[in-house]
Structure 1
Amino acid sequence: MHGFTDNHVHFMEGGAALASIDLRPVNSPKKFTQLMASYAKTLPPHQWILNGNWDHQKWGGMLPNKSWIDPVTLNNPVYVIRIDGHQALVNSLALKLAGIDRNTPNPKGGIIVRDEHGEPTGLLKGNALNLILDIIPSPSENELMKQFAMAQDLALSLGISKVHAVTAYPSETTMLDIFKLAEKRGIMKIRAFVSTPIESWEMAAANIEKHGRGNDLLSYGGVKGFIDGSLGARTAWFHDEYSDEPGYYGLPLNDPEQFATWMTKANEAGLELSIHALGDKGIDFVLNKMEELGKGEVRKKRFRIEHFQHPTRMAIKKLAELGVVASMQPYHAIDDGQWAEERIGPERLPTAYAFKSILEQGGLLTFGSDWPVAPLSPFEGIYAAVTRSTLDNANPQGWIAEQKISVEQALTAYTVTNSYALNAEQKRGTLEKGKFADFVILSHDPRAVSASQIRNIQVLKHYINGELVYEH
């Protein structure tokens, strides 16, 4: 069958995560400390401990704080992120290096979590992460290429022929620079469309004016921006208050007026818009702005909303009518579904991760992973979309079962519609004469096995442009 396209990958963050500490298995505060201690012992003094991808829901929902890690990381600054990338735990050494103390104000769109005495706990949310990111040394070119190769090897082994590569935050070395270097060195085998952070839209516009929009292997010309955060970090932006935090509605990560200006300028420059919006208020804000910018021709623009996790019914209808692409990652549904009702209440659940409703309205649905926030495997994503069986096994018939879709619909979201969303449907998305020979040979046909077996399917061979790039 046709090779998969992943609509939303933090490619280099994923490669870096493969090369560093993995806190995903941690299920208790004690285990968190133990794993950090073991890893710190392997490092020279002053080297940063990064990535991590912890999930506090695995130990009952208690958020970590610096006291868990300070005693075992005295000589190494720490910046370990939650799996959603919207929260991070840092140690006292990192706080000191960044100049963060009780007198440091919260940045716009961010929160420095404090204890009852006003002291930072070590937990940062939203744009407060930039206070630390700005002081972390950049890796060398060789380190970046090693991380790129590790990410690529994993993607190719899972049958992913193309990725939409995004990055969470602007940096000195851009994501596009890294992909261009990999292409120049002859390392790059996977196809990629690379988006630039929306606040750097002028740089993206200047780049396409000077270099065009790339080639069939590496293309660019899009921007990605955040209007809000995540449900797990309580930074998704809602019309109504959080059910487990009365009086709190989440927050826009960027000033809405400024963000609207960025969207306008990027659109005027001919850049493709991919906007992260999870909460219903954030989604409505983005849809309304996209409608305004489209001037009756939104469908031609192929605007995308990344995640589109908690829309209203009216937003689903509007998305379909306008032709805005819902760029979704189905694994989030079976993960967040373990605890989402407590956070937003039962009234907002029926349209959570509304795959079926989007398709029934005639909407454009694409799938991917959000790796390393979630597993990279398309088979995990297909399994999630088809079963909606949460990771805690509490919903064997499916969490919000009416939003389950068929295997064929999930495959289409990973291939045909993804190619359309990236303006590549004339060259890819289906296996037919005149299109690229990007295809995989699988151990089993996902349409011919039980839903429970889908996640165990293996890629036996993977070809891109007719050339073998992976063999099991």
Structure 2
Amino acid sequence: MTTLILYNGPIYTLDPAVPVAQALAVRDGRVVALGTERQVQEMVATAGRTHELIDLAGRAVVPGLTDAHVHITWQGFTRREANLAGVATLEMALEVVAQRDTQLPQGAWLRGGGWDHVLWGGRWPTREDLDRVCPHRPVILLRKDCHSAWVNRRALELAGVGAATPDPAGGQIMRDRDGEPTGILVDTAMDLVRAVEPPPTEQDRLAALQAAFDEALSYGITSIHVPPGTDPADASTTLRDLQTMRQQGRLSVRCLAYMAQPDLDAAIALGLRSGFGDAWLRLGGLKLFADGSLGSQSAEMLRPYEGTSSTGLAMMPPEVLEATIRRANAHGISVAVHAIGDAANRKVLDAIERAIHDRQAQPEAFPAMALPNRIEHVQVLHPADIPRLGQLGIIASMQPIHCTSDITAASRLWGEERCHSAYAWRSVQAGGATLAFGSDAPVETMNPWLGIHAAVTRQRPDGTPADGWYAEQCLTVEEALRAYCYGPAVASAETALKGTLTPGKLADLVVLTGDPLQCRADELGAITAAMTLVDGQVVFERSSSGG
């Protein structure tokens, strides 16, 4: 088989032993040589193999990036629905909805999301707002954090949701003064409408996955970790679809797929454990939800949100959370627990710590876990809890773009004292925890280079705030890259295969349009993939016109 040699550009391996190389050789899907151009060419010539050259022309190479938290099917669907991300006013959002309405056949639901009422002055939208532009078909629009849904009267009627409908456990139906639903459903209350919403077809889902894979490769993302969202059915459907794409030879991005809480009994009965699968598709662990979100004010806090008496919502009673984590770990299944508020994070830390103590007390009752436990988001911690992640060997699965997107909301709702330990990447890392960065797309952009910019500067893309938001938590460029490359490999227990570019590892790598270790910090967000290789094959190449 032909050997591919990349040369004439800095190759940042993220391997401390050889941090930078001049050339790299790939064969049979693996890195086979690394060093100076002369060393690599001599090694290839000695092996007597034909070779193909790629002149980097000074462009930088890094390991393929991993998005350690992406709702991949949802991300694909965002290209085909009413996209309200970044829409600045309520009236503009309603214009998008009205335009989408004209494109749909009679009887179809109008779906979409990405809206952020904080941009609209903080006023929650209502069913009456939607009924002004789309009264005749059901509408469901997810907030940008996917923890609230904005629906119209028609959707509420179909779901049978009215003044007499009680709030479900772990959710809230927002109501007006008369007790009537306003059209905002928080967390598990969204399931009331989802229960009557027709699901997308398999063909629609596979098309959405393909679109999302293509987008990922265009950024240099070669692996993804896929947790289910707030709809538990996402997990089994997504795993089934990923298997279909694997069987069809269409899985162009490596996937670690997580199951939802209702799947635990079946997984245990089948004897499934975290890490089952191959280098393309593996089983992660069990995704659980401890609380809601900052934007929906449902993240569970130790003390009330500023200016309110609310401490948010607990999605699971602490005793159920603890029992579920212990049961999963006892059967070789690691957990990935959504926790945003400081109270939720403490409860998860306590529960995992007790499971670890049980393992130590009765090692014969616990099979070895291939993957470590994780906390997803870790957005705000009590200072006393920061070192506990490292002490307990918990992966801090965080999304740096959340920090800069949430500056206004976090400052207003949490206040200065709590914001000092919010999105605390440097403190968490200093405490010994492994950072695994992702996007939470479609909640935020999938573009990891905007995430790297946020991690390094703690500034929005427009450069504000000028000195960075609590800049003591900034990371270096190399630390941010490691959190997108090596950290996720630790989380998936695949450091022998990926995370760095060293001989013997998978040839998943990206040629960049800029040099992240040499450019200015404010230029990081403009970097993207010029060429992406997975398994040693070029799967994306940007045209000279930038397409």
Q: Normalised by the size of structure 1, how large is the TM-score? A: 0.96
Candidates 253, 268, 272, aligned match of 1:205: 268
What's the CA shift for 1:203?
2.7
Question: For 1:63-122, what per-residue CA distance to the aligned partner results, in whole angstroms no more than 9, with x for missing partners?
Answer: 111111113222321110010000110010100010000000000010000001111010
**464 and 206 in structure 1: CA distance in 2 versus 1, 3 angstrom threshold:** farther
1:320 maps to which residue? 390
Distance in 1 between residues matched to 2:130 and 2:142, nearest whole Å: 14
Aligned to 1:413: 483
Q: Distance in 2 between matches of 1:221 and 1:344?
A: 32
Q: Within the alignment, does 1:165 sit opposite 2:226 as a pair?
A: yes
Which of 282, 289, 292 aligns to 1:226? It is 289
1:210–1:225 distance in 2 versus 1, CA, 3 Å: closer
Q: Alignment partner for residue 458 of structure 2, among 367, 388, 397?
A: 388
Correspondence list, 1:277-292, <5 A: 277-292=339-354
Whether contact under 8 Å (2:63, 2:501) holds in the other structure is yes
**Unaligned segments of structure 1, at least 5 residues:** none
**Counterpart of 1:251 in structure 2: which amino acid?**
L
Question: For residue 271 of structure 1, what is the amino acid of its counterpart?
Answer: I
The answer to whether the 8 Å contact 1:390/1:396 transfers is: no
Q: Which segment is superposed worse, 355-364 or 376-385?
A: 355-364
How far residue 391 of structure 1 moved from its aligned partner, in angstroms, is 5.6
Say which of 59, 81, 86 aligns to 1:20.
81
The reply on whether 1:88 has 2:158 as its aligned counterpart is no
Picking from 299, 311, 327, the partner of 1:249 is 311
Assess if the C-alpha contact under 8 Å between 1:239 and 1:281 holds in 2. yes
Partner Cα separation in structure 1 for residue 138 and residue 113 of structure 2: 13
In structure 2, what is the Cα distance between the partners aligned to 1:193 and 1:131?
29
Residue 339, structure 1, aligned to residue 409, structure 2: yes
Deviation at residue 362 of structure 1 after TM alignment: 2.1
Q: Which one has a bigger Cα radius of gyration?
A: 2
Q: Which residue matches 1:77?
A: 138
Question: Structure 1 counterpart of 2:402, which letter?
Answer: H
Q: Give the deviation of 1:338 after TM superposition.
A: 2.1
Deviates more, 1:96-105 or 1:292-301: 292-301
Letter in 1 for 2:436: T
Distance 2:190 2:313 in 1: 15
Cα distance in 1 between the residues matched to 2:462 and 2:182: 29
Structure 2 counterpart of 1:196, one-letter code = M
Aligned to 1:182: 245
Q: TM-score, normalised by structure 2?
A: 0.83
Superposed CA offset, 1:264-305 (max 9, x none): 221122112100101111001000111111237699861100
**2:427 partner amino acid:** S
How many angstroms does 1:152 deviate by? 0.5
Q: Which amino acid aligns with 2:444?
A: A
Q: Which moved more, 1:172-181 or 1:284-293?
A: 172-181
Amino acid at match of 2:381: P
| Residue correspondence of structure 1 range 109-120 to structure 2 within 5 A | 109-120=170-181
* Partner residue, 1:261: 323
Moved more, 8-17 or 210-219: 210-219
State how far apart, in whole Å, the 1-side matches of 2:400 and 2:126 are: 30
The question of whether the paired residues in 1 share the 8 Å contact of 2:294 and 2:409 is answered with: no
- Separation in 2, partners of 1:182, 1:107: 36
> Which residue of the other structure, out of 510, 522, 525, is the alignment partner of 1:455?
525
Cα-to-partner distance string for 1:370-411 (whole Å, 9 max, x where unaligned): 010011011011000000013675412100111111001000
C-alpha offsets along residues 228-281 of structure 1, whole Å, 9 cap, x if unaligned?
Answer: 011110011011111132x21111112332232222221122112100101111
Offset at residue 312 of structure 1 (A):
1.1
Q: 2:148 corresponds to which letter in structure 1?
A: Q
Return the letter of the residue paired with 2:380.
Answer: H
Distance 1:209 1:390, change over 3 A: closer
Question: Residue 104 of structure 1 aligns to which amino acid in structure 2?
Answer: T
SS in 1 for 2:258: strand
Task: Give 2:24's aligned residue.
Answer: none
Alpha-carbon separation, structure 1, partners of 2:509 and 2:99: 42
Shift of 1:418: 1.1
Which structure 2 residue ranges, 5 or more long, are not aligned? 1-61, 361-367, 543-547
Q: Distance in 2 between matches of 1:121 and 1:183?
A: 43
| Greater Cα shift, 255-264 or 286-295 | 255-264
The corresponding residue for 1:3 is 64
Kindly state the Cα deviation for residue 212 of structure 1 after the two structures are TM-superposed. Answer: 8.1
The number of equivalent residue pairs is 471
Q: Matched residues in 2 for 1:227 and 1:37: separation?
A: 36
What is the Cα-based RMSD across aligned positions, in Å? Answer: 1.8
Give % identity. Answer: 35
Q: Secondary structure at the match of 1:51?
A: strand
The Cα shift of 1:58 comes to: 1.5
Give the corresponding residue for 2:493.
423
Q: Which amino acid aligns with 1:189?
A: S
The more displaced of 170-179 and 419-428 is 170-179
**Residue 103 of structure 1 aligns to which amino acid in structure 2?**
A
